[in-house]
């Protein structure tokens, strides 16, 4: 009988221990996830295009927080275009029928115009606003 009680205590102890270590594991996972989120990339997709009605990027606004890593995927479906943000020193060609991936860190706060620098395209409407807030 005594042996039985001892074994019961041992089993209970083990169960309690297992519960504790599992909780600890979860806490660690949560911390890791938070760290990952902090460094997470904010991703945006758009097409770059023109026709008789106008020229444009399908996405008119990119909203991010200061410090965010920004990934912009641009698929050029018609014509010859680039993606330019003067204040960020970005000017990337976007070859036809390809996805061009542009990455940068939003380290300046404010509203910045992204546009296509091919003559006439920005005036034709091929631009949008990058909004970076604190
Ligand atoms: Cu263009």
pLDDT tier for residue 104 given thresholds of 50, 70 and 90: very high
User: Ligand 1 centroid vs 83 CA: distance in angstroms?
Assistant: 8
What is the predicted pLDDT for the residue at 39? 56
CA distance 47 to 50: 10
- The burial class, CB within 10 Å (0-12 / 13-18 / 19+), for 76 is buried
CB atoms within 10 A of CB 73: 14
Residues paired with 65 in a beta bridge: 133
Which residues neighbour ligand 1 (ion) by CB within 5 Å?
81, 116, 118, 121, 126
Residues paired with 92 in a beta bridge: 83
Q: What is the mean pLDDT of the chain?
A: 82
User: Ligand 1 centroid vs 46 CA: distance in angstroms?
Assistant: 13
User: Ligand 1 centroid vs 93 CA: distance in angstroms?
Assistant: 10
User: Ligand 1 centroid vs 108 CA: distance in angstroms?
Assistant: 25
What is the predicted pLDDT for the residue at 37? 53
Give the CA angle between residues 34, 38, 39 to the nearest 5°. Answer: 120
- Architecture in CATH for domain 41-133: Sandwich (2.60)
What is the predicted pLDDT for the residue at 73? 98
Q: At 12, give phi and psi (nearest 5°).
A: -60, -45
Percentage, residues of the chain above pLDDT 90: 63
Q: What is the tens place of the pLDDT at every residue in 12-61?
A: 454 454 544 444 444 444 444 455 555 579 999 999 998 777 779 999 99
User: Ligand 1 centroid vs 129 CA: distance in angstroms?
Assistant: 16
Is the entire prediction scored with pTM above 0.75? no
């Amino acid at each position: 009988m005594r042996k039985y009680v001892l074994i019961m205590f041992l089993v209970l102890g083990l169960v309690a221990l297992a519960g504790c270590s599992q909780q600890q594991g979860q806490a660690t996972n949560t911390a890791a996830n938070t760290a990952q989120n902090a460094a997470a990339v904010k991703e945006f997709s758009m097409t770059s295009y023109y026709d008789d009605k106008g020229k444009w990027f399908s996405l008119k606004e990119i909203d991010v927080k200061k410090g965010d890593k920004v990934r912009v995927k641009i698929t050029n479906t018609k014509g010859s275009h680039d993606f330019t943000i003067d204040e960020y020193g970005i000017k990337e060609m976007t070859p036809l029928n390809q996805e061009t991936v542009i990455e940068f860190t939003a380290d300046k706060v404010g509203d910045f115009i992204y546009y296509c620098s091919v003559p006439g395209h920005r005036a034709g409407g091929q631009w949008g606003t990058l909004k970076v807030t604190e």
